[in-house]
Every structure is written in C-alpha cells, then in structure tokens.
Amino acid sequence: MGTVNNLGNVLLPANSSSASINVQALLDTAMAAAEQPLTLLQQQQATLQTQTATLQAIENDVTALATAVTSLGNSSGGVSALAAASSDSNVLTASADSTAATGNHSITVNSLATTSSDYTNAVASSSTAVATGSFSLSVGTAAPVTVTVNSTNNTLDGIASAINGQNLGVTASVVNDATGARLAIVSNTTGAAGNITIANNTTGLTFNQAGTGANASLVVDGIPISSTSNTVTGVIAGVTLNLASAAPGSVVNVSVSPDTNQAESSINQFVTAWNKVINDLNSQFTVASDGSGAQPLESDSTVRNLQEQLLSAITFSIGGNSGLVNLGSMGINLNNDGTLSVDSGTLSNALTNHFSSVQTLLQGTSGFSTFMSNVLTQATDPTQGSITLDLQGMSQNNQDLTNQISAMQATLSTQEQNLTAQYDQMQVALQELPMTQSQLTQQLGALS
C-alpha cells in the first residue's frame, strides 16, 4: 500500500498492482496530524478552566473572610454584643442589644399583664341554632361594634365567623367539652388596652367574663411602671424584660455586661475563615521535592500578591491599649505557615478583664477590622479588585480560545470533506486500473 505525505496525498509504488485502498485509514492518519494544533488549544482551555474554578473558590473563601472581619468591627456584631442576666429567671428574664449600657438594675414585678376573654353558656353543638338578636363588642377604648345574629349565622360557628370577619381586635372560636359547645372570645391585645366589653345583648346566649385585661405592674430602679405587655421594652434603654410571674416585694437584679461568649464565637469564626484562605493560598505553592505536583495557580501573580498582603496585614498593631496591641496579645497567635491558633485561656482573660481594650483593638476607624477590610476590598472589589480583574482576564482568554477552537474545527471539517472526496476519486481510479491493463494487453497482443 502507498503512504501519505504531509499534504494528505497518497503515494503508491510504481509497480503496485493494488486495486483498492483503505480510505478511512488514510483519512484518519491525515486528520490526526492536522488536529494536533486543535488538541493543544483544547488542552490550554482545560487548564484555563481549572485555574478559573480554583480562583473562584479562593474568591468565595476570601469573601467569607471579609464577612467575618466585618462582624468583628460591626456595632451589632459579636464583639459589641451585651448580655443581660436575671438573678431570678422564674420571675423575669432579660436580653440586651448593642444600644444598652452596662450596669445593674433592680426590678420588682407586682403583677403580670393579663388578657381579656369572654365565653358563653353551653349549647348542644357548634351548629345548634340559637336565638337571633345582637350584641355590641368593644376592645379597650375603641367604639363598640354591633354583632348581628340572624337566620344566616345563628349558630356558634356562624357567630364566631361574623366576629372574626369584622377585625375587631379579638379572636372568636368554639370550645367543645363534656358540657357541649361554647363561644369563646379572646382579645388579641394584653393589658387594659385589650379589655373586652360586651353589652346590649339580645341573643339567647349568656356571656361570661373569664378574665379582664390588666396592665403589668412593676418597679424598675424605684420607678413604678405600667406595661400593657409582659414583654417590657423602652424602660431600660436597649434592654428587654420578659415577665414570667408576679413576685410582690421581691427584688430581682438584672445585670447588663459584655457578652463574652458571643465575642469569643465571633473571633473564632474569623480565625476559621482566615485559616481557610491561607490554606487555599499555601496549597497553590506546594510542590514535591522533585518539583512535581504543580498546582493550577502556582504562577498566578494575583494569588502570590494576595498571600503576601494578608500575611503583612495580620501583624497589625496599635500602641498602649492596656497591653492589647495586636492579635497575639489577646491570644490569637500566628503560626509558621501563616495560619492562626487561639489560646483560649489568654483570649478568655482578655474578654473578661479587658473587654473595652479588645474592642479598641478590633473596632473603630483605627482598629484591626477596618484595616483588614481595606486589604480584602483591594482583592474582592466587584469592579477593581485584583481577583475580580484576574477572573475577567481568564474569562476573556477562555472566550478567545473558544473562538479559535470553533474556527479551527470548521477548517478541519472542510479539510476532512476535501480529503474524503480526493481519496474516493483515487479509489475509483485504482479500481479501473485492472480493466485498463487488460485492454492495453489485448491491444499489444493484436499489434504483435
């Protein structure tokens, strides 16, 4: 059989007697050589896509780190959190937000806020017909509203639906027990403001008051307080009191102090997020002693620069501040590989005994959080961040490769069609050679 030159042409020996060729084999050989540049482009694109995915994963972890850093400096974050503790949780519990002030408060709960409710006498069932008529219902100081009972709604179910349909500030329902069915009306508002008044009743039902709406009565730091709810806010700035039971004459102490548990949790979350990013970056520059094990971004300058910037920023320090001048002084230590570890004892001592100094170090315009946030913004800014720009460049390169691959595939397809046609023609010519040879032999024989 003949061979194929670099142009894809078939070269047959002059004395060949073959009457056919393997067109597909010749075509495969020719196209394999022509497709090598395409294969190289596809390999480049696969490598670029791996680099892109790796950098996107790093970007996600850097964004999570930025969130953790922001929390450290946020006035509503864990390092700013306050906790309110009650000396008797059976009487009341308390909570505090970041607007509260540290301190102690004495509280006496004389009575709880109650909810007004009424119920009727029992009838056989919720669908039993009752006498028609009407009654007026009012809540607190609101004007009375007439509830009409006629032939369309003269059952307990019907009356309950009629009351609920008027949005009177109460909830009506039917209660069933061994005595039958009763209509129950409960105020939606605790305290005197939700007290229910039923008057001018001309129906066959008798209404009974189960409970009146009364305000809670308490004394806070010597000041008498009346509250429509058992959840008391606004009396102590930033503190919510949750009244559980009345205890006249009994003083409950509520202390407001820094929430060291939330602060420690916020700091540990930052350390975890930091270590994730540093390990991400370190892994791109880790190779075996023989130089093998190259990682996708080992030559990416953006990743290298980010690693250097973060390791420089983590050494942030201030002066004075009761000795809490950097992260290490509060128990957050820098390891040789750039990760952080927490000395829980040192951190606990700093949070318990020097909480304001911890806040000074971490928060404010001159604190660690602001400084580190600025460094991270240089990487993650949605328009000018170094990672953002790097990913944009990768995306453009990927598109360019896609265009090149598409153009080359179109060219190769045309080349394959042309070669196929040429080989088919050659196959036809070779199949005609025996016939031509026979004719020539006959003619030569006739001449001789």
Q: How many CB atoms lie within 10 A of CB 281?
A: 21
pLDDT tens per residue, range 321-355: 999 999 999 999 999 999 999 999 999 999 999 99
SS3 279: helix
pLDDT above 60 for 380: yes
Question: Cα-Cα-Cα-Cα dihedral of 360, 363, 366, 367, to 10°?
Answer: 80
pLDDT value at residue 100: 92
Cβ-based neighbours of 142, under 8 Å, separated by 6 or more: 168, 169
pLDDT band at 2 (very low <50, low <70, confident <90, very high): very low
Among 39-53, 289-303, 311-325, the least confident range = 289-303
Whole-number mean pLDDT of the chain?
89
Q: Of 296, 331, 326, nearest to 314 (Cα)?
A: 326
pTM score, whole prediction: 0.70
Instruction: Report the pLDDT value the prediction gives residue 9, as an integer from 0 to 100.
Output: 44
Q: Which of 153, 160, 105 is nearest to 132 (CA)?
A: 153
* pLDDT at 26 (0 to 100): 66
Q: Mean of the pLDDT values across residues 263-282?
A: 96
pLDDT of 410-421, one tens digit each?
Answer: 887 887 777 777
Q: Which two tokens stand for residue 147?
A: 């509830």
**pLDDT of the residue at 199:** 96
Exposed, middle or buried by CB within 10 Å (0-12, 13-18, 19+), for 209?
middle
At residue 8, the 3 state secondary structure works out as coil
Residues in a beta bridge with 175? 182
Portion of the chain with pLDDT greater than 70, in percent: 90
Structure tokens at 233: 């806010």
Instruction: Give CA–CA dist 85/252, Å, rounded.
Output: 10
Three-state secondary structure call for residue 320: coil
| Structural domains for the chain | 1-81+259-287+294-432 (no CATH), 82-112+216-258 (no CATH), 115-211 (2.60.40)
